[in-house]
């Protein structure tokens, strides 16, 4: 059993604290937001993550997990301090490290014993060295410490499963002994452990996210071509995915990526490359394709409705993905804005994200369920692939709508089935979705 302090109780920090306490360690989760900490002490979580509330409650009752706003209390007995604070996007796409800096300074001032400081936040290459220098320059008295990079690879919506079943653990440090200590914490997870230097570990995180974002933008580019030529991108992706060199994951065409990681991390990596005089052409193309996805979705709506001014359009989903209430960089925000710019009346339903969305997406009427959303609607747009939407009573939905137009931004339905149910349907890259006939191959004669 080790004593661990986790700084920050957002998506990464709270899951990390709950996960390590569930492995039998004593964990103090620290946050300077008093309201958050007080709520956590009452069992009220600041985020929605399947299964997390139960794990937090279990470990609090067992005495392995506690919450504080005090660095002195959090670090009093700690062997490890995990920095898991936010690194929002800066003005030029760079990562904003103000919260990392504040945490490093506070750690230095509160340290009373040797400590391994672990960067869990996604930070630019070179941040580990910078954090070490901040701590060194703010120490109240000489103390031994080391900095280890341990980037997180948690997917919102299945973060607990990802914590307990990681594909790998990446560690980077200039102090091999410190890296080995952090490796020992992760041994119960029985996953491969990669130990390298600080900057390489930081780069692995950015390169991983950028590659996954590239796969998403690639298949969306293919979807555009499929729409033009009359091919079905779902079948294309399936056929591609059998190749082990390609794989099936992240080959799902749709509305594009969002959330707190991919948009921010691809921009940050492109920014780092540009600062160093490199030209990140592929990364720029990935971002351009993704930015174009919401416009394509609105164009599908216009192809069905003609002018969408004063038309009632319902959004099925607001969160950037299913099983989370996170609306950061959610495509729904851009879709709603584009529809409103064209004069549409926008309403929405999401199983868990409506409270968050109401604070950030103006002018949208929230509906209590999908059927209230459908009533009198001129069109519905699938924005988030919640399982609830896959199980809807579609004949009931069709009968409630003023005109049964459905734009499927996540390809959760089959075109022929939807048409058989009486919908005017548009998917993303789905077969003969109104495509123009492909040109015939040139030749002198006709094949017989």
Residue 444 has pLDDT above 90, yes or no: no
pLDDT at 228: 92
Q: What is the mean pLDDT of residues 362-381?
A: 97
Percentage of the chain surpassing pLDDT 70?
96
Q: What is the mean pLDDT of residues 46-68?
A: 97
The 10s digit of each residue's pLDDT in 387-404 is 999 999 999 999 999 999
Q: What is the mean pLDDT of residues 216-220?
A: 98
The distance between the two most distant Cα atoms of the chain, rounded to a whole number of Å, is: 89
Residue 436 has pLDDT above 60, yes or no: no
DSSP 390-439: HT--HHHHHHHSSS-EEEETT--S-HHHHHHTT-EEE-SSBSSSSPPPPP
pLDDT band at 432 (very low <50, low <70, confident <90, very high): low
How far is CA 5 from its chain centroid? 25
Which stretches of 231-261 are DSSP H helices?
A: 233-241
pLDDT band at 139 (very low <50, low <70, confident <90, very high): very high
- Angle in degrees, CA 391, 397, 403, rounded to 5: 140
Confirm whether 3-196 and 210-426 share one CATH topology: yes
Overall residue count recorded for the chain in this entry: 448
Q: What is the mean pLDDT of residues 10-39?
A: 97
The pLDDT mean for the chain works out to 94
The burial class, CB within 10 Å (0-12 / 13-18 / 19+), for 124 is: buried
pLDDT at 165: 97
Q: What is the mean pLDDT of residues 363-388?
A: 97
Catalytic residues: 261
The 10s digit of each residue's pLDDT in 400-413 is 999 999 999 999 99
Q: Using CA atoms, how far apart are residues 162 and 157, in angstroms rounded to an integer?
A: 10
Residue 434 has pLDDT above 80, yes or no: no
Pairing verdict, β 405-408 and 345-349: unpaired
Cα–Cα distances (Å) from 40 to 120, 169, 202, in that order, read 21, 28, 30
pLDDT band at 441 (very low <50, low <70, confident <90, very high): low
Residue 433 has pLDDT above 80, yes or no: no
pLDDT band at 438 (very low <50, low <70, confident <90, very high): low
More confident call, 93 vs 61:
61
Q: What is the mean pLDDT of residues 118-137?
A: 96
Please state the pTM of the whole predicted model: 0.92
Residue 445 has pLDDT above 70, yes or no: no
Domain ranges of the chain: 3-196, 210-426
Contact 219, 251 (CB under 8 A): yes
Percentage of the chain surpassing pLDDT 90?
93
Residue 61 has pLDDT above 90, yes or no: yes
Residue 328 has pLDDT above 60, yes or no: yes
The CATH class that applies to domain 210-426 reads: alpha beta
pLDDT at 339: 97
pLDDT band at 92 (very low <50, low <70, confident <90, very high): confident
Q: Using CA atoms, how far apart are residues 431 and 351, in angstroms rounded to an integer?
A: 30
Nearest one of 26, 4, 330 to 156, comparing CA atoms? 330
Phi, psi of 349 (to 5 degrees): -145, 140
Residue 448 has pLDDT above 60, yes or no: no
Q: What is the mean pLDDT of residues 150-175?
A: 96
Residue 442 has pLDDT above 70, yes or no: no
Q: What is the mean pLDDT of residues 65-84?
A: 98
Residue 104 has pLDDT above 90, yes or no: yes
pLDDT at 435: 47
Residue 188 has pLDDT above 90, yes or no: yes
CATH code for 3-196? 3.40.50.720
Residue 353 has pLDDT above 70, yes or no: yes
| Residue where the block lists tokens 């851009």 | 334
**Contact partners, residue 45, CB within 8 Å, separation at least 6:** 14, 39, 52, 53, 56
């Amino acid at each position: 059993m080790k004593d661990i302090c986790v700084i920050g109780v957002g998506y990464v920090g709270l899951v990390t604290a709950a996960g390590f306490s569930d492995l039998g360690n004593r964990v103090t989760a620290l946050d300077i937001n008093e309201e958050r900490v007080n709520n956590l002490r009452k069992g009220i979580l600041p985020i929605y993550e399947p299964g997390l509330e139960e794990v937090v409650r279990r470990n609090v009752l067992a005495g392995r997990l506690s919450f504080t706003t005090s660095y002195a209390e959090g670090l009093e007995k700690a062997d490890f301090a995990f920095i898991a604070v936010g690194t929002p996007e800066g003005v030029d796409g760079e990562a904003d490290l103000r919260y990392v800096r504040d945490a490093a300074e506070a750690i230095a001032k509160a340290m009373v014993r040797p400590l391994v400081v672990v960067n869990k936040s996604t930070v630019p290459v070179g941040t580990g060295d910078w954090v070490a220098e901040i701590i060194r320059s703010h120490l109240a008295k000489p103390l031994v410490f080391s900095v280890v990079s341990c980037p997180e690879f948690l997917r919102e919506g299945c973060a607990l499963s990802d914590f307990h079943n990681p594909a790998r653990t990446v560690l980077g440090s200039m102090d091999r002994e410190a890296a080995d200590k952090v490796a020992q914490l992760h041994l119960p997870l029985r996953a491969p452990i990669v130990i390298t230097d600080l900057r390489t570990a930081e780069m692995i995180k950015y390169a991983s996210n950028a590659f996954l974002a590239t796969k998403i933008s690639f298949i969306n580019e293919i979807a555009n071509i499929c729409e033009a030529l009359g091919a079905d991108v779902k079948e294309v992706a399936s056929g591609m995915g059998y190749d082990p060199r390609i794989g099936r994951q992240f080959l799902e065409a749709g509305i594009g990526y969002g959330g707190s990681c991919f948009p921010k991390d691809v921009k940050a990596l492109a920014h780092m490359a540009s600062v160093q005089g490199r030209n990140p052409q592929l990364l720029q193309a990935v971002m351009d394709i993704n930015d174009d996805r919401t416009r394509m979705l609105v164009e599908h709506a216009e192809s069905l409705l003609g002018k969408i001014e004063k038309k009632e359009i319902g959004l099925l989903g607001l969160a950037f993905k299913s099983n989370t209430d996170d609306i950061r960089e959610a495509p729904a925000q851009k879709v709603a804005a584009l529809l409103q710019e064209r004069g549409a009346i926008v309403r929405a339903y999401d199983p868990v994200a409506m409270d968050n969305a109401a604070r950030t997406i103006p002018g949208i009427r929230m509906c209590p369920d999908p059927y209230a959303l459908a009533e009198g609607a001129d069109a519905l747009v699938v924005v988030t692939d919640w399982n609830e939407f896959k199980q809807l009573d579609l004949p009931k939905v069709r009968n409630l709508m003023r005109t049964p137009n459905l734009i499927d931004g996540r390809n959760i339905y089959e075109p022929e089935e939807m048409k058989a149910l009486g919908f005017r349907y548009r998917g993303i890259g789905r077969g003969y979705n109104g495509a123009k006939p492909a040109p015939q191959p040139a030749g002198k004669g006709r094949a017989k």
